[in-house]
Amino acid sequence: MLAIVVIPALLILWIITSIRRHNKSGLKDIPNAHFSVPYSRLWLLSIRWRKKENRSRIYLHRRLGPVVRLAPRELSVNCVEDGIRTIYSAKFDKDADFYHALVDQTGFMVTMIGNDEHRRRRRMLAHPYSNSYITNSGTIDNILSRVKHRLQEGMAQWASTGASVDVYMQAKCSMLDVVTGFLFGSENATDTLLDPSFENDLTTLTQATTKNLHVRTSLEWPMSYFASWIGGNVRPDPVARSRWEEWLTQVITNSYRSHPTKPSSTASLYDHFYDNFKAADPEMSLNDMASFIAVECDDHLSASHIGLGILLSYTMYELSRAPHWQHALRKELGTLNEPSELSLAHRLPNLRVLDAVVTETMRTRAPCPGPFPRLVPESGCRLVGKFDVPGGTVVSSSAWALHFNPDPFPVPDEWRPQRWLEADEKTEVEMRKWIWTFGSGARVCIGTHFSARVMKELLITIYSNYETLLDEEFTESVEQEDVFSSSPLAGRIQLKFRRLTQPDTMVVA
């Protein structure tokens, strides 16, 4: 009897308080994604739970403009000036609730909330990730040459047998083999193109992380309390985890031992990291340092392995759907046969078709669609010149919503590399401002130059002497899953390889 009276009374009280709060809120003039969002987070949580958040943001912004309210104190922002330029500046901290749901382990750059700690760490790694370092790195030359050789062997075999190949897995293996060499030296690099079992471990662990994040950010208390009952709090596969940790400990120990005698021409990221830690805090114990380095490098490994695996395999998929772009690319790669004193890495900026193909895939297939939530500082902020947003509001953007905006990108749903080749200078500069594959501002991805070099050189290796074709028998969905790390729904992308026989189309790369 009491419940019949008390529950409706509490409900009415809650509705009245919510309406009052909404009427006073500084966010009341911002268009609502759903009638309920000024009062409750339920709508946002439901689209997140159903894995529709980033796709919904695309259509919401097309309908409602550049700033949309998603929950009582949460906004989605979809413009550059007075938008991402503002909210991804150093004044806005990361939203701890979200980033600490991302992984149990914190203490690396992506999860650092305070900007001072982050700035110190970022400074330590800025040099080995800079464009000039990446372009001239002998360590990357060595490791890329080994991985290219392995790929050549694989492609020769796939082409001769007509096999259907899961290029998503091959791309992840290639990336893992390159990045392990960059981080710990080519002598410590994995060789998963030859034996993919280790790559499978990492994929299994990443899937558990993605699933945990999805459950943790889609449920509110008290439902979050029951997360483990419905598949949340997935414990990473203990066997894969221990194999992975064992490997990481081993390569860090090896790197530590070889560090004193390592020439700078073969230096790894570990060597730079170690020297910078030592300079910043000479008293730091070896164990603490090893543990900081392991946690940071673990993150760089998973970012490259999955993120670049997604980008490389989707670029191959799009090229297989559009053979005329393979033809245009190969024609351009023919220019690499002309004698030059420059290394391949230095000649990459001249390959405009290659750049257009990669950039367009970064636009249409961004591997991390978002959101990347930030907290508005206490002083508040103004968005799109008209909305005054109070401190404490959570603001975020989605790469997919920015990339599928028809204003900067007409016919946004189509993969059209020509948009990058045909645009005049002003339009191209404007379009590039909207490309958000790697985020922007103070916390922009540190791996952008590394990613560009590795992606482009591997594509040159593949398309110089081979063409790729769709496997007509593969009919599973290649759409991306709408989660933080967006792999193909099928978990694979099957293509076939054919060796080029016309000598004039073949390239020495």
Please state the residue numbers annotated as binding site for heme.
445
Interatomic CA distance for residues 223 and 231, integer angstroms: 12
Is 122 a binder of ligand HEM (CB under 6 A)? yes
Of 18-26, 79-87, 296-304, 338-346, the window that binds ligand HEM (rule: CB under 6 A) is 296-304
Is 316 a binder of ligand HEM (CB under 6 A)? no
List the interface residues with ligand HEM, window 348-377 (CB under 6 A).
367-368, 372
Is 403 a binder of ligand HEM (CB under 6 A)? no
**Nearer CB in complex with ligand HEM: 173/303:** 303
Is 189 a binder of ligand HEM (CB under 6 A)? no
Whether the Cβ atoms of residue 261 and residue 229 lie closer than 8 Å to each other: no
List the interface residues with ligand HEM, window 434-473 (CB under 6 A).
437-439, 443, 445-447, 450-451
**Nearer CB in complex with ligand HEM: 37/316:** 316
Residue 215's contacts (CB-CB under 8 Å, 6 or more residues apart) are: 227, 230, 231, 232, 233, 234
Is 308 a binder of ligand HEM (CB under 6 A)? yes
List binding-site positions.
Answer: 445
Is 244 a binder of ligand HEM (CB under 6 A)? no
Is 176 a binder of ligand HEM (CB under 6 A)? no
Interatomic CA distance for residues 89 and 298, integer angstroms: 26
Q: Which of 207, 239, 435, 418 is nearest to 309 (CA)?
A: 207
Q: How far is the CB of 301 from ligand HEM (least distance, A)?
A: 7
Interatomic CA distance for residues 77 and 185, integer angstroms: 41
Which of 44, 103, 311, 376 touches ligand HEM by CB under 6 A? 311
Binding mask 92-121 for ligand HEM (x = CB under 6 A): -----------------xx-------x---
Q: Which of 49, 100, 438, 21 is nearest to 231 (CA)?
A: 49
Give me the numbers of helices (H) and strands (E) for the chain, helices first please.
Answer: 21, 10
What SS3 class is residue 470?
strand
HEC string for 3-53: HHHHHHHHHHHHHHHHHHHHHHCCCCCCCECCCCCCCCCHHHHHHHHCCCH
Interatomic CA distance for residues 366 and 487, integer angstroms: 10
Rule CB under 6 A: which residues touch ligand HEM?
Answer: 109-110, 118, 122, 179, 300, 303-304, 307-308, 311, 367-368, 372, 437-439, 443, 445-447, 450-451
